[in-house]
Amino acid sequence: MRNAELTVSDRIVLALDVDNDREAIGLVAELKDLVGMFKVGHQLFTAYGPDIVRRIISMGGRVFLDLKYHDIPNTVAKASTEAVKLGVSIFNVHALGGLDMMKAAALAAKETAEKLHLPCPIVLAVTILTSMDERSLRKELKISRSLQREVGHLARLAQRAGMHGVVSSPQEIKMLRKGIRGEFVVLTPGVRPAWAATDDQKRIMTPAEAVHVGADYIVVGRPVLKAEDRREAVRKILEEISMPRTAAGSKYPTGARK
């Protein structure tokens, strides 16, 4: 089940894929009233550390900490505790770290949030990286089932471990919505508005399509970062997502957060 309470703005996660903190902070200042969250990944975190996260949060921005933890359960539990203390809204781990590792992350997040009276972040599992294909799964990892079946299997394992949802490619959303019961968050990168360049993304959907087939959150980077008018680019995406789709028979709440 998806989260119907999110506004359209809440659903947009802007990837802060920029070279320096000045640019990142500038983007937060410019767009925080239009987008729900900012994604801090390995590049920015390695260069500027947790301080960049604290600065974004102190400006009123929400943060998805995209560090994809993958280590022994004890280490991932400790990293998860720190992510909660940092105040991030979403963080993630690799499902291939296994059931015990995912359980440790989910439990540490829950217990730390309760102990410190902080909101518990959404903890997501990355199933199979979209840079892998069926051939590399088979040849390198010796995983012989189809990509879709493996993704479905890892998503169910993640749910069993207490993860709140998964990061998935747009192509997997429908299958996940069909195969997984109960509340489960789906966040998807790899989206491209029809008016934007595809860059290096291959199996893409438009943001509106991704939301209509069941994504709760969409991650957008270059279509906004490279736009001449970034606010206008975000507004166009919001508008497209808000448009009712008669075929799907569904409408999403309109209007950006003020």
19 vs 100, beta carbon nearer ligand C5P:
19
121 vs 193, beta carbon nearer ligand C5P:
193
* Nearest-approach distance from CB 258 to ligand C5P, in angstroms: 25
* Nearest-approach distance from CB 43 to ligand C5P, in angstroms: 9
Exposure string for 88-104, b = 16+ CB within 10 A, e = fewer: bbbbbbbbbbeeebbbb
* Nearest-approach distance from CB 187 to ligand C5P, in angstroms: 9
6 vs 225, beta carbon nearer ligand C5P:
225
CA-wise closest residue to 35 among 54, 16, 58: 16
User: Which residues contact ligand C5P (rule: CB under 6 A)?
Assistant: 15, 17, 41, 129-130, 189-190, 199, 201, 219-222
3-state percent breakdown (helix, strand, coil) of the chain, nearest 5: 45, 15, 40
87, HSE (Cβ side, Cα atoms, 13 Å)? 15
Helices vs strands, H then E, count in the chain: 11, 8
- Active-site entry in 32, 39, 68, 236: 68
Residue 63 corresponds to which amino acid? V
State the DSSP H helix or E strand holding residue 122, giving kind and residue range, or none if neither.
strand 122-126
* Nearest-approach distance from CB 190 to ligand C5P, in angstroms: 5
194 vs 247, beta carbon nearer ligand C5P:
194
CA-wise closest residue to 40 among 105, 9, 101, 86: 86
Please indicate whether residue 258 is annotated as part of the active site: no
Residue nearest to ligand C5P (CB): 221
Residues tagged active-site: 68
